[in-house]
Each structure stands twice: as C-alpha cells, then as structure tokens.
Structure 1
C-alpha cells in the first residue's frame, strides 16, 4: 500500500474491508487511507505515537496515554481495524472489547482493581484524591458482586451490558 489513495488496489481495499469485518465501505477506506498517509509523515508505513499525538482530539483525550499503547506502530490495516470499533456499524460487543483493552493496559486479558484505579485517575485527575477514588471503586465493585481482589474478564464486561 503506497503513499497516496490512488495506490490502493481493489485487492487492498477488499483485504482491508475483510480485516475490519466490513464495517467500512471501500470509499470510507480510501478516505481513511488518505488520513493515514497524512499522519504517517515519514511514509514509514505505520503511525508512531508522536504522529497520533498530532491529532488534537486524540492528544486532549484523558485516556490518550492508554490509547497510545494500543495504536503506536499500527500499519494501515490495523489502523482501520482499530477505528472499526468507533464505526456506527460496529456492534456493542466490538465496542465493549475496545473499552476492555483500554482498561487492560498490560494486555493480560483481565482487569485488576489497580487497572480500574489507574483509569479513574486518568479521568478524574486532581479532582479526586487517591483515597476517594479507592473508596468509590471499592463500593462500585461491591455493589456489582466483586472485591478488590477480583479480576474482570471480557465476558464480565459483555455480561454487564446485557443485565
């Protein structure tokens, strides 16, 4: 895949479309490729964390550091797959899986008390003390039937959506 939208072949378009579970049309993929090429300033074929931070909406997001771990070094196909969770056509389970990955910063497939606490810290900043965050989180987990020692799995996230 080249450095301009005209470099995408029909095969490339179909391959990317399959990779993102047909959540984007071919025209949307062409538009995403143009944006990818703009972000990939050095035409390396992937986007670095610094290049992602050049997008103001991304840089201003309180979870940007967590998201950077997920997007740093993405090639075009993986860039589109990452963005597919934000598509209006994505189902709820695909969206929940992305949120799960944001919380699961070490990628071990489970979310600990400390993982959630770190996200709360990112979101609340100086507006809450660590003690306040811990008390709130302990109470929320207790009400949901979990303890400080519990781990949340992707199925727990999906199950909570259904209840």
Structure 2
C-alpha cells in the first residue's frame, strides 16, 4: 500500500476513534445518570496516549523509513475485521459500552453476541488492529512497540474490568 493510501487509512481509523469517543461520552452520561461508577480511571490517560501513539507512530514510521509493506493488503483485511468485531461489541453492549470502565448498579452482565464466546472480545479487536494497522504501511517497529505496551496495559485493564464486573450477574 502506498504512502498516500496508508495516510488515508490512518485518517479513516482516526475518524472512527472520534466516533467511538462520541458514543462513549454519550454512554458515559447515561451511565452516570443511572448511578454508574468508574473503575481504574488512572490507566485511562495511558490508554488514550498509547492509542494516539499507534496512529501517529504508524504514519511517521511509514513516511520516514518508507519501508516495504509486507502482507499490506492482508493486514488491511485484519484491520477491517477488527473494526467489524469492535462495532459488534459496541452494538451488543449498547449503553453499557464505554472506553472507560463504568459499571451501572443493577445492570445485567452482557453475555450475547461476541460475549457469548469470549469474555473480552473488544480486546481481541484492539490487539489485532494494533498489530496489523502499522504493518499495512510497513511500520513494523510501531507494531512491535504498540503490541508490547498494549499487552501490559491490557493486563491492568482486564483485571480492573473483571473486578468491577464481579458484582454483576
């Protein structure tokens, strides 16, 4: 994939992130109005920075190094599949979906859609996209750095979510 197309892909993913944040903020307001409590707020700024760095790092590395993409179109297909899974998760969770960990008292734990088979399917999408997106443009250093940093962050995030959700049925 050439640099212009890769830049367009990064722009589309960035726009998708803005849309996610809009949905998340709407859901956060609803959750707060229904007594929702946030857990693990301390790691949220790190998560935002890491995901922003993924987009910026992918673009900068691809432009600077002009590496030759390996499996670029295959990785683009992984990115597209990850987006599909992410939005399936968002749709399944409805108002309970958020980029933060917010639990509404009395809300039932969602076990439909992709949650029927996986406890944290959204993170499957995050991991797949985080590894594949930089590789579309040949930015393998960004892919490796994001994957390692994301693994550490997800350990914390999943622990926080599991602890927060223990009270739900």
Choose between structure 1 and 2 for higher RCO, CA contacts under 8 A separated by at least 6 residues: 2
Q: Which structure would you say has the larger Rg?
A: 1
- TM normalised by structure 1 equals 0.29
- TM normalised by structure 2 equals 0.28
Higher helix share: 2
